[in-house]
Chain A
């Protein structure tokens, strides 16, 4: 998963599609000391091995492994893929399942905030479909799990 993500970046960069300064990767060159950021991979729940001690590397780079993701399933229904694609630009859908059941108007406010305040590039018809999905599955009346 991590591999496929960086492969995508490498291919785009190789094709000259990556405009430094206009993307997350491009910005990385402007940040002092930053070697890697935003590396995520799916995590394992259940029985886990203990971590090994730091390897023999006396250099100045301080690194940890990918940030594991443990994203619970979203309710099945129309609009779910839109939610995963657009909301997933900036955050995992755990931000949705973590909430208590919220009134329909609150969900609409959240979608508007993501577009207006946070800059989510969601076209209007998709924004409406995303709001409808959230109302259909995550209000006090509709939430199942």
Chain B
């Protein structure tokens, strides 16, 4: 095949596309020297640069550490748009530090600078009194509330899927818990007076992409049914763990929808629209849909057949999950020492009621000790002291039960989007002779 010059192709692009391409910075980036990750000083052997076609066996994704404004070094998923995974050690505490909180954008035009004197939050559409609220009006004119809630990406742990599916190859670190402070959404809706006939509320932030209007690469908009009870608990948050939100987590305000997946937690929230019909934009009608089956489970054959009924992932709440944070298997454990196992658990369907630990790969279970209760949508820390009886390899496991009685299953899940993973977690540990 004859090699086609990108310059010739560029001249075939419409002027708009060419300008967008220049604006994207790709003109400079495409021909710059690529980054090559270095061997880590923390261990003699680095992880491989990719996993597959088998499942990723590691707790996090295998990607290198990278640095970003207002952030500690996090694990790269992608760099334009920006997706960053939180490293495992930051889950030792119930609240995830803002500087370590994961980042997930869909498009690449992410704000670098905002002017709060001209920024406004708009409530518009099918409302009696459209509002355009300045930041200080939002803070001063409405009573603030605080709620601890886990934000988890729909595709958290996608790299566990077998067969693998395309998408951000997260390990377990596309989640975080914070104390969110802001205005209850229902107060804003009451002030704007939603009119009868409203079917959905649509949320849109400042971030966007260079794509043409009406396509997925233009803007991301997410909508929830106006009757969804999750809206009663939703908050327009201007504080995260008591501090302003990092830019990459949605400064100046972000929508908090406790119990729902992060895709509905619109960052840089700027437009709230009352819709009189169901939102048909790409991000509702095509993306982020799950099979309408138990656990959203299906098979590659069923998905390929194309007859699967799907629903937006907003129709479900985050299923119960639990995690082992330490020990992480990076070091050998001397026999005879007690091992303090620690982790977190959460559920979008009511408080975690119970966490159980297994020292024998899930064959038998004992109750673990739960940490402080920060509310039904928060991480709940757990711990258990384990005394390994022999040297050699051990596989420990953890599972949680939520307030609705759901026990975390030990079967995988599969769907083409790579969503809703919540299988029992395991950790292999090596106990050495002493």
| A residues in contact (CB < 8 Å) with B | 1-2, 4-5, 8-9, 12, 17-19, 22-25, 27, 31-40, 42-43, 45-46, 48, 51, 60-74, 78-79, 81-82, 84-86, 88-92, 94-95, 97-102, 106, 109-110, 117-121, 123, 125-126, 129, 132, 140, 143, 145
Contacts and interface: CB of A to CB of B under 8 A. Distances in A.
Contacts of B17: 89, 121
A92 to B, nearest CB: 4
Contact of A129 (B4, B23, B56, B118): B4
A38 B110 contact: yes
Interface stretch (B65-73, B311-319, B339-347): B65-73
B24 A119 contact: no
16 contacts: A5-B28, A33-B119, A37-B112, A38-B112, A60-B115, A69-B35, A72-B36, A82-B4, A84-B6, A85-B6, A88-B24, A92-B78, A99-B52, A118-B217, A119-B211, A126-B9
Contacts of A81: 5-6, 30
Chain B at the A interface: mostly helix, strand, loop or mixed?
loop
Contacts of B23: 5, 9, 23-25, 38
B206 to A, nearest CB: 6
A5 B25 contact: yes
A109 B113 CA distance: 36
Given A33-B206, A100-B164, A61 B24 contact: no
B38 interface: yes
Interface stretch (B79-87, B326-334, B376-384): B79-87
A82 B108 CA distance: 20
A72 B37 contact: yes
Interface of B: 1, 3-6, 9-10, 12-17, 19-38, 49-53, 56, 63-64, 66-70, 76-82, 107-120, 122, 159, 164, 166, 168-169, 206-212, 214-218, 247, 251-252, 270, 282, 286-287
Contacts of A84: 6, 26, 30-31
Nearest to B32: A42
Contacts of B108: 38, 40, 90-91
Nearest to A89: B21
Given A24-B23, A38-B25, A72 B49 contact: yes
A45 to B, nearest CB: 6
A64 B38 contact: no
A73 B82 contact: no
A96 B76 CA distance: 13
Contacts of B119: 32-34
Which of A31, A66, A145 has the most chain B CB atoms closer than 10 A to its own CB? A31
Given A71-B35, A110-B166, A119 B215 contact: yes
Which of A5, A23, A24, A51 has the most chain B CB atoms closer than 10 A to its own CB? A24
A2 to B, nearest CB: 7
B67 A43 contact: yes
A92 B116 contact: no
A66 B79 contact: no
B51 A100 contact: yes
B35 A92 contact: no
Which of B49, B118, B282 has the most chain A CB atoms closer than 10 A to its own CB? B118
A73 B64 CA distance: 14
A67 B210 CA distance: 16
Contact of A5 (B22, B77, B117): B22
A9 B20 CA distance: 10
A118 B115 contact: no
A145 B117 CA distance: 48
B111 A69 contact: no
A10 to B, nearest CB: 11
A126 B10 CA distance: 11
A31 to B, nearest CB: 6
Given A27-B208, A64-B247, A145-B49, A117 B111 contact: no
A14 to B, nearest CB: 14
A72 B112 contact: no
B220 to A, nearest CB: 11
Given A71-B34, A110-B166, A98 B63 contact: yes
A142 to B, nearest CB: 12
B164 A34 contact: no
A89 B82 contact: no
